[in-house]
Amino acid sequence: MRASLPQTARNVLRGLFAPAKPVYGEDMMALVNDIAAALTGRNQTLATAESCTGGQVGSALTSLPGSSDWYRGGIVAYANAIKHTLLDVPAEILASHGAVSPETARAMAEGARTACAADWAVAVTGIAGPGGGTPAKPVGLVYMAVAGPGATRTYEHRFPGDREDIRTAAAKAILQHLAETLHAAPA
């Protein structure tokens, strides 16, 4: 039996858009919906600071209609100078620990929280590759942080794959950490 033209077109389009599914697929949107519900229920806000994800976290959050009720904004700070000037990451941290470190992730999250006057902030910094890795800091190493009213927590991940795999995995991971933190935090 031969497929109809509309069915064939759907199959072709599914194949073309399959690479985007991890970021904007059902699993990512479930996290975004969960975060939105938690923040809305608390009447709280969120900001983002991104380096290696290049805005993917903010993009995922704003793909939900009504996100302006709880998402204050984000800063994509790819260069160290931007991390320092816009997110107030101390030059000493960048010089002694580097851009890819738990200290930098913490400072980025806290800086975004302050800069955007948000209750919560997340930050992601890492080495997405294909170059830039070292034995001490290989491609796939990503540090992230969640800063909230009570504390800031950092996380370390080592993601496999190519540049886009690493960026997508990092975006999803920080949203997962945020969702878990919001559920564990007192209301």
DSSP string of 98-115, one letter each residue: -SSSHHHHHHHHHHHHHH
Q: What is the pLDDT of residue 20?
A: 44
Can you read off the two tokens belonging to residue 147?
């800063």
Global pTM value: 0.86
Q: What is the pLDDT of residue 133?
A: 95
CB distance 140 to 158 below 8 Å:
yes
Q: What is the pLDDT of residue 187?
A: 76
Measure CA 108 to chain center.
Answer: 12
Structural domain spans, the chain: 19-184
- Tell me how far apart the alpha carbons of residues 173 and 57 are, in angstroms, rounded to a whole number: 10
Per-residue pLDDT of the chain (187 residues; tens, 9 = 90+): 555 555 555 555 455 444 444 445 679 999 999 999 999 999 999 999 999 999 999 999 999 999 999 999 999 999 999 999 999 999 999 999 999 999 999 999 999 999 999 999 999 999 999 999 999 999 999 999 999 998 999 999 999 999 999 999 999 999 999 999 999 998 7
Chain segment 112-158, per-residue pLDDT in tens: 999 999 999 999 999 999 999 999 999 999 999 999 998 999 999 99
The superfamily in CATH containing domain 19-184 is CinA-like (3.90.950.20)
Q: What is the DSSP string of the chain?
A: -PPPHHHHHHHHHHHHHGGGHHHHSHHHHHHHHHHHHHHHHHT--EEEEESTTTTHHHHHHHTSTTGGGTEEEEEE--SHHHHHHHH---HHHHHHH-SSSHHHHHHHHHHHHHHTT-SEEEEEEE--SSS---SSS-TTEEEEEEE-SS-EEEEEEE--SSHHHHHHHHHHHHHHHHHHHHHHS--
